[in-house]
Amino acid sequence: MTLEELVGQKLVLGIEGVRATSEVKELFRRTHAGGLILFRRNLASAEELRHLLRDLESSLGRKLLVMVDHEGGRVVHLGEGVTVFPDAQALGNGGEVAWARRQGEIEGAELRRLGIDINLAPVLDVLTKARNPAIGTRSYGMDSERVGQIGRARAEGMQSRKLSACAKHFPGLGGALFDPHKDLPVIQKSWQAMKQTDLVPFVQAFEGGVDCVMSSHPIYSEFEPRRLPATFSKRIIHDTLRLEFGFRGAVLTDDLRMGAITKTVSLREAATLSVGAGHDLLLICSDPKRQREVFESLVWAYKKGDLNSDELEESVERIVHLKEKRKERFSEGKPVPEKDGDQTACAIAQRGTKILQDGRGLLPLSSTSRFKHSLLAIFPDLAPIEKHFFIEPELLEPQEFLKRTFSRYGVSLTAVEKVAINPDAAERNGMKKLVESQDLVLFFCSDAHLFPGTRELLKTLQEAASPLAVVLMREPHDLEWIGPKTACVTAFGFRRCQIEAAVEKLFSTV
């Protein structure tokens, strides 16, 4: 390979749209990019995805590494042809490790039929802070050993079906107080303490033979004396991950276009520092102009001797080895979900659902008679986030779905009202008038910790509706804005199987 071809192998680019346009093809030719990362914007349907990959690789005459964030829960970009699993915390809360392995096997079979080589999962961050805006329900929880056991099992399941897993975010993002998508977190924790908590799941993943690791963007101030983000730290990536832990697979950056990085250095400098730290693959998920600049700056850095050419060749050998594991673009079979996928997802959701409080003894609803007269459900409008993540169709228009779900328990909903995720004062006042005449109100609450309008609506409903039951559709720490007498249930997410599990918990006598 030429220098330009070697450098290109290290680049993983994101593109716009669902087609390999002439501009996309030219970008990959000019940069010799070796990888493609897919997002919601690229995934209209299973067949269109397969066409995109065939067309792009055919025009280039070479194979790419194709990857996607398919974590489950909130982070699902494609719903067609795959099982939509609940958030990791649902499994961590009560599921079996064997279910994690089966989830991985299902994901491996489904994603390989779609032509994907690497799933950027599992998340192995341990929740060491009660609130974590970057991870939250994406984590399996606060127990390091359990996070490791579940994560390793899922990764082994994926790789048994020829889909590479990627453990993230090394050395651990669970203690971050800021989201690196927007800001640069500083984690003030000794390395010894991290070895006892954050690093435990990664060690288990390494022992299980995980193919890839993604690093994290925070500064680990107690370990990196130069206060560099982990992405730029040779001490963390080369000395610790490579030498101390002996990891021999591919090491990826997180997206270098995140705020934690762009607010610190230029993208050109970020790419050079990331390579110097020891990364094999650099993720640049948007902006063709900036992607070309990264390629040009890396080529120039190698020519000047600022970057080590021997290390470049060693890195590309790891990348080529990873590609050779997936010689065929698509595994056999039509791109359809596995037969037991939904059953497995529902089992995880049901076991993971919790009653957080029930101060008035309202639950189970099966023992309450007054709700049978008028029962109103209030559900958030999820359409605004559909451009970023796949939303199941029945949750976009939830009226029939919820009525059908409640009918399983012999209950007829009076009405289902949709409300904005961050409702304004007029909408909140409308909800107040509506709930005052109801015998029971069920509020499906999304992200009160993020949206002041939702917090105000919670306050309004608790004052006006009696009784009130709340289903937390994401972070359990939204409980902070719920009074002690309000019944509250969480399934740790908003996927269909989790909503069904939460409703079942409202009526369950167990």
Rounded Cα–Cα distance for residues 2 and 473 (Å): 51
**254 among known catalytic residues:** yes
Q: 382-411 burial string, b = 16+ CB within 10 Å, else e?
A: beebeeebbbbeebeebeebbbebbeeeeb
Structure tokens at 476: 């359990």
Q: Cα–chain-centroid distance for residue 294?
A: 26
Rounded Cα–Cα distance for residues 480 and 477 (Å): 6
Rounded Cα–Cα distance for residues 272 and 11 (Å): 12
Which run of H or of E encompasses 164?
strand 164-170
Rounded Cα–Cα distance for residues 147 and 140 (Å): 5
Candidate list 254, 255, 280, 447, residue with the active-site label: 254
Structure tokens at 381: 């409008």
Rounded Cα–Cα distance for residues 32 and 264 (Å): 27
**181 among known catalytic residues:** yes
Rounded Cα–Cα distance for residues 191 and 224 (Å): 10
- Angle (deg, nearest 10), helices 496-507 and 341-352: 50
> What does the DSSP 8-state code read for residue 387?
T
Candidate list 51, 55, 143, 181, residue with the active-site label: 181
Asked whether the bond before 218 is cis by omega within 30 degrees of 0, the reply is no
Helix or strand or coil: residue 220? strand
Q: 69-85 burial string, b = 16+ CB within 10 Å, else e?
A: bbbbbbbbbbbbbbbbb
Phi then psi dihedrals of residue 488, to 5 deg: -145, 130
Count other C-beta atoms under 10 Å from residue 510's C-beta.
5
CA-wise closest residue to 107 among 126, 88, 93: 88
Structure tokens at 499: 């909503």
* Active-site annotation, residues: 181, 254
